[in-house]
Copies of this chain bind each other. A is one copy, B any other.
Amino acid sequence: MPPDGLSGHAFVFTIGRGNDVEVAALEALRGHLLGRDVEQLLGDMGATWRLLAHDSQLRWLGPEKGVMHMAIGAVLNALWDLKAKRAGLPLWQLLSTLSPEELVDLVDFRYLSDAITPEEALELFRSAESGRAERIETLLASGYPAYTTTPGWLGYSDEKLDRLCREAVADGFPQIKLKVGASLDDDVRRLRIARAAVGEGYPIAVDANQRWDVAAAIEWVNALAEFEPAWIEEPTSPDDVLGHAAIARGVAPIRVATGEHVQNRVVFKQLLQAGGMQVMQIDATRVGGVNENIANLLLAAKFGVPVCPHAGGVGLCEAVQHLSMFDYVALSGTMEGRMIEYVDHLHEHFVTPVVIERGRYVTPTAPGAGTEMLAASVEEYAWQGVHAGEVAL
């Protein structure tokens, strides 16, 4: 623990079995960090990324994907949490104090230069430099738009679906999302109920959670076109760039959204190059931490695609809001067509849980990255003595 008594926290997880695999991956990174000078690690976070992500031995387990890459992301995120706490700023604001040059230095442009160069990135940050202060004021005054997935889980009764849709609109959310793909008849019925509940013109996104092959996705989504989905999310394998592009062509003008399982910036790059993704859904815990998500935000800005992060509760909302808010202040400069997912799930275990008001994320002002869990929650739910997924530096 550094002399100021502050500590950095982050998390990474699975949805059940396999958290112990992540813990082993975190352990494998220990040797890169123990005994290092914290000032040095935090002082050049671009170098810290390279220290972790460019280990040629650990790259054999990826490179830059899955278990090992998620662990690297968690360690970087914990360091960002510490850096923000030491600065006395929420992460979004800390990032917004950095110069365009400092921001570009955080990003690994390896394998990106056919889509964006450091020079182009610098230009993007520079062109958003004026107006940062005003946008910070706007953020602090009125927050960032959220949409809710709460009404749309499969298995709810039609009555519950109807009620939750109406509540979402009444609560001020500008969009809802429904899960689809189990049964076309059910999807048609549920979308009819939802559309009636929210009214014409209100955006309803749909999410297939990787269920389909290409032809099936095109057929199914077109069968739902009368309900005018705001986007179709994860229609197929997150690895299938060309599949996403074929689906996007086949379901236009309905947009394709994806990203929660996209493994790294190289796949995001291709989804944009191929026209396979009209909405980018970054996740705070899938890729190589804050550093790689800045690369992803840059790619989105370069290609003019809005970023609507994945945040299905469990701390993801707390973490990813900082990235969207940073993007608004220092990169895209707009909230137009952007919103952050919101699910009311397990916020109570975090030290600084998100606050939603009238369908918007209230801009956090507490120092840190939002990723610290309550000590009591960690204690209570730790399994076999392992603080699964938590990195404490």
> CA–CA, A68 to B22, complex, Å?
10
Question: Number of A interface residues, CB 8 Å?
Answer: 58
A138 CB, min distance to chain B CBs, angstroms: 36
Stretch at the interface among A1-9, A10-18, A171-179, A299-307: A10-18
Most buried by B among A27, A58, A61, A62: A61
How far apart sit A55 and B17, CA to CA, in the bound complex (Å)?
Answer: 9
Measured between C-beta atoms, what is the minimum distance from A262 to chain B in Å? 10
Using a CB-CB cutoff of 8 Å, which residues 53-84 of chain A contact chain B?
55-58, 60-70
A190 at the interface (CB under 8 A from B): no
Tell whether, in the assembled complex, residue A63 and residue B23 are in contact, meaning their CB atoms are under 8 Å apart: no
* A366 lies within 8 A of chain B by Cβ: no
Per the 8 Å Cβ criterion, residues 12-34 of A in contact with B are 13-18, 20-25, 27-28, 31
B65 x A239 contact (CB < 8 A): yes
| Contact present for B14 and A25 (CB under 8 Å) | no
Give the residue of B61, B65, B242 whose beta carbon is less than 8 angstroms from that of A21. Answer: B61
- Point out the residue from B16, B31, B270 that lies within 8 Å of A240, measured CB to CB: B270
CA distance in complex: A238, B62 (Å) = 10
Whether A264 is near chain B, meaning CB under 8 Å from some CB there, is yes
Q: Is A241 an interface residue (CB 8 A)?
A: yes
> Which of B68, B110, B238 lies in contact with A67, CB distance below 8 A?
B68
On chain B, the residues within 8 Å of A169 by CB distance are none
Please encode chain A, from 146 to 157, with 1 for each CB lying within 8 Å of some chain B CB and 0 for all others.
000000000000
In the complex with contacts A70-B61, A111-B237, A213-B111, A21-B25 CB distance below 8 A: yes
Chain B residues with CB under 8 A of A69? 66
Interface residues of A (CB under 8 A from B): 13-18, 20-25, 27-28, 31, 55-58, 60-70, 110-114, 210, 213-216, 236-243, 246, 261, 263-264, 266-267, 269-270, 273-274
A-B contact pairs, 20 of them (CB 8 A): A15-B57, A15-B60, A17-B55, A17-B57, A18-B28, A18-B68, A20-B24, A20-B27, A21-B25, A24-B25, A25-B67, A65-B66, A67-B67, A111-B243, A114-B213, A239-B266, A239-B270, A241-B242, A242-B270, A243-B266
